[in-house]
């Protein structure tokens, strides 16, 4: 009999035992007597039976697989953030002996929760309905890189607000007042928080934000270039930039080099992420480091606990860290 047509019912019939006994044997959820176990093992061998993932899920068994859902966007596989999340979650799962099932959400909800024991969701952008469905279906779930208002949902987020605030205050303490912010996609919570930290650093230090110094880039270097050209066409261009990402900060440095604006002597730059690829002509970027590895590790740990037994939701906010390097100069007050 071909293995593709063999069912748990066939195994039970060949072994002369109940379907429930075969199910218990496959999923190791209950002890099966030695005599029955030997009959089931022999039947499985004779029929070349391989339990499907779906059948194991229906039977209440563990698949030893966690899902990772990432909202798709243009250039996702060139994104340091996305690649870091995939790499760190995969590494944390590998250390835990768990397989990874990756899903990139693009407009249609094609994720099948029967293929996994639980799900890690990397932020919620355009896939709110997908996440609501998983919650409604009682799928064990942890959201990373976003605080979730639903008190029943676990999350592991980063304090983007504080990271931004400290970065901008560092520039202020170095004598800068004309500080621009190139923001990310403001539909995304982390971009909103970084903009909030930027604005509050001004107000709490007795300064006023110049709206002309705030540009939205959607994390795109192309849009960052457009905003830079606008700002530097004004009579009073910025002396410093706090950027939504290291990629955008790299575009600021490239713009400065192309226009003979010395970094950091004439223009200071701070990024966000701590992307090791963002080095320029020997300059090491001052940036805000995100704890990607710990975020992934905590998410996997929480999901393991949730899939083992019913546990109350956990809600963690991790600290970011300002990494001071070469791209900020002190202005005389």
Q: Residue 255 contacts by C-beta under 8 Å, 6 or more apart in sequence?
A: 225, 228, 232, 261
**Token pair for 168:** 């901008």
Q: Which helix (H) or strand (E) holds 165?
A: helix 160-173
- Of 237, 232, 240, nearest to 181 by C-alpha is 240
Question: Would you list the DSSP string of 271-310?
Answer: -SB--TT-EETTEEPBEEE--HHHHHHHHHHHHHHHHHS-
Q: Are 205 and 169 in contact (CB under 8 A)?
A: yes
Q: Are strands 154-158 and 118-122 parallel, antiparallel or unpaired?
A: unpaired
Neighbours of 288 (CB within 10 A): 27
Measured CA angle at 100 (ends 99, 104), to 5 deg: 165
Q: Assign 192 to helix, strand or coil.
A: helix
Give CATH superfamily name and number for 3-58: lambda repressor-like DNA-binding domains (1.10.260.40)
Q: Are 296 and 303 in contact (CB under 8 A)?
A: no
Residue position matching structure tokens 């966690």:
66
What's the gap between Cα 147 and its chain centre?
A: 12
The tens digit of pLDDT for each residue in 122-166 reads: 998 889 999 999 998 889 999 999 999 988 999 999 999 999 999
Distance (Å, whole) CA 95 – CA 90: 9
Indicate the fold that domain 65-159+292-320 takes in CATH: Rossmann fold (3.40.50)
Distances (CA, A) of 57 to 23, 111, 124, 255: 11, 15, 26, 54
pLDDT tens for the chain, 333 residues: list them: 444 468 888 899 999 998 878 877 876 655 678 888 899 999 999 998 876 655 555 555 678 999 999 988 777 778 899 999 999 999 999 999 999 999 999 888 989 888 899 999 999 888 999 999 999 888 999 999 999 998 899 999 999 999 999 999 999 999 999 999 999 999 999 999 999 999 999 999 999 999 999 999 989 999 999 999 999 999 999 999 999 999 999 999 999 999 999 999 999 999 999 998 876 567 899 999 999 999 999 999 999 999 988 889 999 999 999 999 999 999 976
Burial of 276 (0-12, 13-18, 19+ CB in 10 A): exposed
- The domain segmentation of the chain, as residue ranges, is 3-58, 65-159+292-320, 160-289
The tens digit of pLDDT for each residue in 73-126 reads: 777 778 899 999 999 999 999 999 999 999 999 888 989 888 899 999 999 888
Say whether 160-289 and 65-159+292-320 share the same fold: yes
pTM for the model: 0.82
The CATH number of 160-289, from 3.40.630.40, 3.30.479.10, 3.40.50.2300, 3.10.129.10, is 3.40.50.2300
User: Number of helices and strands (H, E) in the chain?
Assistant: 11, 14
pLDDT of res. 3 = 42
Distance (Å, whole) CA 122 – CA 146: 8
């Amino acid at each position: 009999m071909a293995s593709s047509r063999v069912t748990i019912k066939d195994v039970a019939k060949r072994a002369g035992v109940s379907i429930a006994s075969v199910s218990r044997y496959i999923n190791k959820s209950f002890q099966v007597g030695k005599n029955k176990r030997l009959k089931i093992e022999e039947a499985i061998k004779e029929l070349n039976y391989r339990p499907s993932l779906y059948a194991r899920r229906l039977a209440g068994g563990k698949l030893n697989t966690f899902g990772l859902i990432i909202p798709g966007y243009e250039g996702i596989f060139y994104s340091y953030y996305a690649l870091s999340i995939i790499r760190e979650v995969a590494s944390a799962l590998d250390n835990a002996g768990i397989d990874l099932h990756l899903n990139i959400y693009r407009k249609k909800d094609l994720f099948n929760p029967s293929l996994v024991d639980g799900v890690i969701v990397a932020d919620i952008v355009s896939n709110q309905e997908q996440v609501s469905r998983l919650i409604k279906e009682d799928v064990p779930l942890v959201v990373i890189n976003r605080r979730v208002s639903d008190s029943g949902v676990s999350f592991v987020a980063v304090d983007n607000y504080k990271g931004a605030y400290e970065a901008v205050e560092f520039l202020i303490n170095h004598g800068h007042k004309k500080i621009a912010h190139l923001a990310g996609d403001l539909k995304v919570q982390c971009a909103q928080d970084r903009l909030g930290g930027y604005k509050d650093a001004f107000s709490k230090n007795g300064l006023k934000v110049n709206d002309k110094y705030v540009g939205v880039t959607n994390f795109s270097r192309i849009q960052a270039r457009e905003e830079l050209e606008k700002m530097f066409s004004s009579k009073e261009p910025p002396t410093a930039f706090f950027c939504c990402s290291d990629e955008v900060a790299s575009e600021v440095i490239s713009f400065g080099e192309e226009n003979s604006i010395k970094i950091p002597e004439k223009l200071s730059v701070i990024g966000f992420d701590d992307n090791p690829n963002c080095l320029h002509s020997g300059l090491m970027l001052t940036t805000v480091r995100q704890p990607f590895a710990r975020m992934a590790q905590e998410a996997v740990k929480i999901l393991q606990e949730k899939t083992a037994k019913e546990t109350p939701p956990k809600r963690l906010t991790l600290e970011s860290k300002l990494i001071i390097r070469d791209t900020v100069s002190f202005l005389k007050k």
